[in-house]
Amino acid sequence: MTVTPIKSPSIAQKLKEISDHECKVSFSDFMQTALFHPEDGYYTKVKNRVGRESRSDFFTSSSFKNLFAQILIESTSNLLESSNQRPADFTWVEIGAEPNKALLDSIEHPFRGAETIRVGTDIKLKGKLIVFSNELFDAQPCHSLVFDEEVWKERFVQINDEGISFQLGKIKSPGLTPYLAKLPKLVPQGYTIDIPTGADALAGSILQQDWKGLFVAFDYGKTWKSLIHDTPQGSARAYKEHRQVTDLLADAGDQDLTCHICWDNITDTVERHGFSKITLESQESYIIKRAPRVMQEAFNPANDAFSKQRSQLRQLIHPTLMGQKFQAISAVKF
């Protein structure tokens, strides 16, 4: 079995502290530590994560800050007004923005105010809000299950002095209990399903709090049926410098770890907490339907066909680029 060294002493120490008597942690606990360790976690350290630069790791819709901000201002204002609400009565709250890259920073908007909550920090919500996130839920830890010897087993991370490695064992993590009855009964040896438990828990934490208004989240995910049938090698991925890394355990704290979310679970959570007018659609559909003014301005025949705005909008909505890769969910509660 391949053993992967851990470069960060603080991450190695934390994994040892939270490991069981066999020096094992769940894959979820490994992800949590690698992504959110207070000193060396991927999302907590000072690092250029987002952008097209060679040293960044991934590229998001928020990279088109000015254009994406105008799309969200128009679309969320329209969603509020369609429910007879005034945008000026609501505070914009963005969860998970990169440092100094909040979407509405230095952007004129019609809302009562704008706030930002960093990814990995405590989320406290109250009052009349527009709660927005972009690729927040896919950045949460997931558990991993593997079909081995005709039974489902949990994938753990084994820790020793040389490093870390994967090891299968009896399912122990209590957070997996609600999902077990929904697993396929017979699949090939080695079939892997990554369960987005962290995304589901975060959605519940956000939506159960004492606030009212509009919930909008852009992310990438699948239905439960697609998640368990269409990704036989699992959906957890690692990225560094815009390339997918095959070893999920490599460079803990220095590479991005992500997992497809389950839209069925998120939608059920939204509904369970009293939200209505729930819509799940592709990013392409959301922008075209809900930001018509931005669309009209960008594709006005009188404007330059090669303008920056038009080029960026094409990337956001084109089906083979970002338009179908990402989805958007919106819902209201008043």
Q: State yes or no: pLDDT of 143 exceeds 70.
A: yes
Which residue segment(s) compose the domain that 297 sits in? 9-333
**Residue 54: pLDDT over 90:** no
**Selected residue with higher pLDDT from 51 and 195:** 195
| 170 has pLDDT over 60 | yes
Mean pLDDT of 70-94: 97
Q: Is 1 inside a domain boundary?
A: no
Q: For residue 292, is it within any domain? A: yes
Residue 309: CB atoms within 10 Å: 17
Q: Is 93 contained in some domain? A: yes
pLDDT at 53: 65
At 298-325, the pLDDT tens digits run 888 777 766 888 889 999 999 998 999 9
Q: Confirm if 305 and 317 have CB atoms less than 8 A apart.
A: no
Per-residue pLDDT at 56: 61
What pLDDT band is residue 58 in, cutting at 50, 70 and 90? low
**277-287 mean pLDDT:** 98
Which pLDDT belongs to residue 55?
A: 67
Q: Which two tokens stand for residue 169?
A: 């064992």
pLDDT of 242 higher than 90: no
pLDDT reading at 132 higher than 70: yes
User: pLDDT band at 93, cuts 50/70/90?
Assistant: very high
User: 48-57, 145-154, 185-194, 279-288 — which is least confidently predicted?
Assistant: 48-57
Classify strands 211-219 and 127-134 as parallel, antiparallel or unpaired.
Answer: parallel
Work out the average pLDDT over 147-156.
Answer: 97
Query: Given this model, what pLDDT does residue 215 score?
Result: 98
Strands of the chain (E only): list them: 24-26, 91-95, 113-117, 127-134, 143-148, 151-160, 163-169, 192-195, 211-219, 221-222, 237-240, 243-245, 256-258, 261-262, 276-282, 327-333
- Position 97 confidence tier, pLDDT thresholds 50, 70, 90: confident
DSSP character string of 63-100:
GSHHHHHHHHHHHHHHHHHTTT--GGG-EEEEESPPTT
Residue 61, pLDDT above cutoff 80: no
Domain total of the chain: 1
**Sign of the CA dihedral running 78, 80, 84, 88:** negative
> Bigger pLDDT: 34 or 55?
34
Q: Give Cα separations from 197 to 29, 31, 111, 142 (angstroms).
A: 11, 12, 33, 5
**Who wins on pLDDT, 260 or 1?**
260
177's CB contacts (< 8 A; 6+ apart) are: none
Structure confidence at residue 191 as a pLDDT band (50, 70, 90):
very high
Residue 39 has a pLDDT of: 92
Average pLDDT score over the chain: 93
> For 57-69, what is the mean pLDDT?
76
Report the CATH number that the domain containing residue 281 is assigned in CATH.
Answer: 3.40.50.12710
In a domain, 227, yes or no: yes
d(CA 84, CA 175): 40
Burial class (CB in 10 A: 0-12, 13-18, 19+), 209: middle
What's the average model confidence in pLDDT over 137-150? Answer: 97
From the centroid of its chain, how far is CA 214? 18
Alpha-carbon separation of residue 328 from 33, 137, 215, 311 (angstroms): 28, 12, 10, 21
* Domain assignment present for 241: yes
Q: Is residue 57's pLDDT more than 60? A: no
